[in-house]
Amino acid sequence: MANTMTHPSLLFLALLLLFFNSSVAAVMKFNVISYGAKADGTTDSTKAFLAAWSQACASTIPASIYVPKGRFLLRNVDFRGQCKNTAISIRIDGTLVAPVDYRVIGNVDNWLSFENVDGVSIYGGKLDGKGTGLWACKNSGKSCPSGATSLSISNSKNIVIMGLTSLNSQMFHIVINGCRNVKMQGVKVSAPGNSPNTDGIHVQLSSSVTILNSRIQTGDDCISIGPGATNLWMENIACGPGHGISIGSLGKDQNEAGVQNVTVKTATFIGTQNGVRIKSWARPSNGFASNIVFQHVVMKNVQNPIVIDQNYCPGNKNCPDQVSGVKVSDVTYQDIHGTSATEVAVKFDCSSKHPCTGIRLEEVKLTYKNEAAQASCSHAGGTVSGLVQPTSCL
């Protein structure tokens, strides 16, 4: 053994490793203050953030952007790749604030957008989307901008979002679109229960996304899962107010990527419109949702705790044959208990053309006003095991 260690090529390898390790440890640091950002909440710091980003992105060694305490006013910012390194961390001790006048960012898709990046981690930070003005406009029935998503990550991979708080987004809070390997942990989303279209986290066309230990209070879906989401894991999620965790709406388009291998494990829904939902348009489509697991879920006063709705057609418009082409299969509901705010706690309203198959109910107990709730099924098939209340209609 001693002899092999002194072999010249091994010695070279050891030196190489040493060099490699020390270069990995080195990090280029960029403080947004050095680029002119002001923590006063009123000075536009957009240029400073972009300047720090372009330096970090151009660094050939790992880079770190630091945002200190205080409030930083930002217009819409596009953090674009490709970058010269695959390890950019952004540490935020402060709050990023959107313009109070919703028109400034209301017509762009995203307030803060990361696109085409690999290896970006965001630690901490608060995003204050200042959505109240836009919601008031929308609720007044006037014509208003559709609003910006607060944080969008698109066409990217190897992303970490840890300990981020998103407040009062104009539209969606966080969108993951076209990404691979995204880890979100300890995310907090907060907006009033009546704020329009403020989905908490939306995931689509993405694989290997995990959302852990996150608390979402908002006016639309806590988590919405769009076409092309695969290998999605959600664990320890608290939702409410909000519209629950929703797979869909799927099947809006004829040609659509399916949703596959989605797990929700350990979740609490408090006073939400839905608990766990799968929803598809009553339109022709080749979309599908399969291998879905909902387990260890507590419902408190939830209007529709378990629901599959394949007859979505708002205003009964643009649904030519009023039947969904989306195939829903292998959906497991395991250890789900609590209270329903309506009599029908379990509703499987599936497509007459493509009935739901492989629905499994196991240890489900939902009550309505301290009594057994009801279940309603159409075109739904599957199996039941263990105690299931309301009595299954599969």
Ligand X SMILES: *[C@@H]1O[C@H](CO)[C@@H](O)[C@H](O)[C@H]1NC(C)=O
CB of 186 to ligand X, least distance (A): 18
CB of 234 to ligand X, least distance (A): 9
Is there a cis peptide before residue 249, judged by omega within 30 degrees of 0?
yes
Of 231 and 376, CB closest to ligand X: 231
CA 273/CA 288 separation, integer angstroms: 24
Of 77 and 182, CB closest to ligand X: 182
Contact, 273 vs 309, CB < 8 A?
no
Q: What are 321's two structure tokens?
A: 């044959």
Taking CA 347 as the corner, what is the angle to CA 344 and CA 352, rounded to the nearest 5 degrees? Answer: 140
CA 116/CA 96 separation, integer angstroms: 22
What phi, psi does 224 have (nearest 5°)?
Answer: -120, 140
CB of 292 to ligand X, least distance (A): 11
CB of 59 to ligand X, least distance (A): 32
CB of 210 to ligand X, least distance (A): 6
Q: In Å, how far are 21, 189, 218, 253, 353 from 193, measured between CA atoms?
A: 49, 12, 5, 29, 35
- Count the neighbouring beta carbons within 10 Å of the beta carbon of residue 143: 6
CB of 233 to ligand X, least distance (A): 3
Q: Indicate which residues carry an active-site annotation.
A: 243
Of 261 and 334, CB closest to ligand X: 261
- State the first-to-last Cα distance of the chain, in angstroms, to the nearest integer: 66
Q: What are 132's two structure tokens?
A: 């109240």
What is the pairing mode between strands 245-250 and 180-185?
unpaired
CB of 364 to ligand X, least distance (A): 23
Residue 208, classified by CB atoms within 10 Å of its CB into exposed (0-12), middle (13-18) or buried (19+), is middle
Residues of this chain that bind ligand X (CB under 6 A): 231-233, 261, 263
CA 102/CA 111 separation, integer angstroms: 11
Of 210 and 286, CB closest to ligand X: 210
CB of 263 to ligand X, least distance (A): 6
Of 32 and 223, CB closest to ligand X: 223
Give the list of residues 6+ apart from residue 367 with CB closer than 8 angstroms, or none: 338, 339, 340, 345, 373, 389
CA 206/CA 151 separation, integer angstroms: 16
Of 211 and 336, CB closest to ligand X: 211
Q: What is the length of the chain?
A: 394
Letter for the amino acid at 390?
P
CA 199/CA 206 separation, integer angstroms: 17
Of 231 and 311, CB closest to ligand X: 231
Contact, 320 vs 353, CB < 8 A?
no
CA 75/CA 106 separation, integer angstroms: 10
CA 329/CA 383 separation, integer angstroms: 12
